[in-house]
Chain A
Amino acid sequence: MNIVELENLKHQFPDGTVGLDGIRLSISKGSFVVIAGSNGSGKTTLLRHLNGLLNPTAGIVRIDGMPVSADVRRARRKVGLVFQEPDSQIVGETVASDVAFGPQNLRLDPAEVDRRVSAALESVGLKALADKPPHLLSGGEKRRLALAGILAMGPSVVAFDEPFASLDDTGVRSIVAEICRLKNDGYTVIVTTHDLEPVLFIADRLIVMQAGRIVRDGFPVQIANEVGDFGVRKPCTCGWPANRRE
C-alpha cells in the first residue's frame, strides 16, 4: 500500500524559478527511500510539499490516501520533517520542552505529553539530557533531538532533509543507526542527501532528481553508478569488486 502519492506535482516559486516539474511518485508503506540530487535539484521543495509547508502550483499530494490540502494538520501529524539545520527546528529551552512542543500543539492531555516525551527521548538515547539546554548539545545530538520532537507527534513517515550535512563520523553513524531503527520499527523513511555513502546499502530505493524532475528511480546499488552524471558524488564503494580486481 502506498503512503505517499504525488500526481503530476509542479511548483513554481514567486520569482519564476521552477522547483518541481511534473513529479509522479508513489512510496509504499514501511519502505526506505533515498532522494539524491545536486543543490537546487528540488529535493527540499519536494519534502516540503509532503506536509503542506509548500503548496503545489499544480498536481496533488496524497498522504495515506487523503490529499494534503484537505487536512494540512493531519498531513503534518503523519509526515514528520527533520530539517537540515537542527538549530532551526529546536524551539524548546530544554531538551524535554522541545520534544513536548509538537504534542502540546496537538492539544494532548499533559500526562500523554509527558509519556510521549519520555518515550521519544528514550528511543533516541537522550533521556539523560532531558533538562539540558539544546544549544549545548553536539551536532549529532541536536539531530537526534529534532528526530525525537518528530517521533513524539506519532508520524507514519519520517523525512530527513540532508541529515548528514556538517556531521562528523560519529554523528553520521548515530543518524544511520536511527534510520535503521525507524525502518525496523515500520516507519516509512525518506532521506534527501547528496552523500549516498552512508545509506547506499540499507535503502530500498534510490530516486535521483535534477532540475525539479525525477531522472532515475530504482534499486540503489543498480543505479548508484550513474549518479555522477547528475551532480551527485558517486559512492566510493560503487564498482568496488571490479576496482579491486584491477
Chain B
Amino acid sequence: MSPISYRLGTGALHALDARFKFVILIVLSLSVVKAGALHLALLACGQIALLSFLGCSFKSLTTELRYLLVLLLLVFLVRAFTMPGEAVFRLYWLSFSRQGAAAGALIAARMLLVVLLGTTLVITTRPAEIKAAVEWFLKPFPGLPAARIGTMFGLLLRLIPLLSVQFAETMDAQRARGVENRINPVYRLTWLAIPFLRRSFSAADRLSIAMEARCYTDDRTGHRLTATRRDWLVLAVGIVYGIFVLAT
C-alpha cells in the first residue's frame, strides 16, 4: 500500500472538514515559499511529528518520493554550483559556493515541505471528501463542470495504484525478454510506453462502460461536508500563523 494514501483514523485532523484542510494547506504552502530557515525548521519538525503520529513510515515515504528527492538534490546542486559567493571547493571550472548551497537547501526544503503538507492532507482525508471539496471550490466558476472534474479527481486517486501495478508488470515483461540488453534509452522507453499506454487506454474504456452500466450521471448524490466551530478555529489559527510567517 502506498504511504501517500488515506489511512483510517478518528483523530482531530481526520475529523476536520476537507475544505478547511485545503485552505489551510494553501495558506501554509504560500507562507512556506516566503519562510526563513527558522520557520521552515519549525514547520518541518511539526510535519515529521505529525506524520509519525499518523503512522506513516519514513522509509516507505522516502521510497515513494525517491524521484522527487533526486530532483531536489539536482536543484540544490545547480544552485550551489551556479550562485556566486564564497567558494567551499572547486570541481574543474565550477565553484561550489556557501551562499549557493544555503539558497539551494532553502528551496529544496520549501518544496519538500509543501509535498509533506499535501501528504498529510491525503493521509487524513477520505478520497470522497477530497472529491467533494474540489467540487465545492469549483462550483462558483461558471462553465466549469465541477461534478465531472470531481469524479475525474476521484478516479485519478483510484487509478494511480492500478496504473503503477500495470507499469511494473509491463516493465517486468520487457525485462523477461531481455530489454536490458538494449542500451538505447529511447528504444527501451518506446517499447515500454506503447504497451503500457495501450493497456491503460483499454482499462479506461472498460471502466467507462462499467460506470455507464451503473447509471453514471453528473447529477448524483454528493458527499456531505459539514463545518463545525472547531473547523473555523483551526482555520483561523492556520491563517494567523501563515500571516505571521509572511510578516517576519
On A, residues with C-beta under 8 Å from B are 51, 53, 73, 76-77, 81, 83, 85, 87-94, 97, 100-110, 113, 131, 133-136, 149-150, 153
Contact call B126/A87, Cβ cutoff below 8 A: no
Q: Can you sample 17 A-B contacts with CB below 8 Å?
A: A76-B214, A77-B215, A83-B213, A87-B162, A88-B209, A89-B207, A90-B158, A91-B158, A93-B127, A93-B154, A104-B220, A105-B215, A105-B220, A106-B215, A106-B221, A134-B158, A135-B165
On B, residues with C-beta under 8 Å from A are 1, 5-6, 8, 126-128, 154-155, 157-158, 161-162, 165, 203, 206-207, 209-217, 219-222, 224
What's the least CB distance linking A47 to chain B, in Å? 10
Cα(A184)–Cα(B212), bound, Å: 28
Contact call B206/A133, Cβ cutoff below 8 A: no
When distances are taken between beta carbons in the complex, the residues of chain B under 8 Å from A77 are 215
Closest to B221 in A: A104
**A interface majority secondary structure:** helix
What's the least CB distance linking B167 to chain A, in Å? 14
When distances are taken between beta carbons in the complex, the residues of chain B under 8 Å from A134 are 158
Contact call A93/B203, Cβ cutoff below 8 A: no
Contact of A81 among B1, B5, B165, B213 (CB under 8 A): B213
When distances are taken between beta carbons in the complex, the residues of chain B under 8 Å from A92 are 128, 154, 158
Asked, given contacts A133-B161, A135-B162, whether A91 binds B221 with beta carbons under 8 Å apart, the answer is no
Closest to A112 in B: B221
Contact call A88/B203, Cβ cutoff below 8 A: yes
Contact call A136/B214, Cβ cutoff below 8 A: no
What's the least CB distance linking B128 to chain A, in Å? 5
Contact of B6 among A53, A81, A93, A108 (CB under 8 A): A93
Contact call A88/B8, Cβ cutoff below 8 A: no
- A91-B211, A107-B217, A107-B220 known, 14 other contacts, Cβ within 8 Å: A76-B214, A88-B206, A88-B207, A91-B154, A91-B155, A93-B154, A93-B158, A100-B128, A101-B211, A102-B214, A107-B219, A110-B221, A131-B8, A153-B214
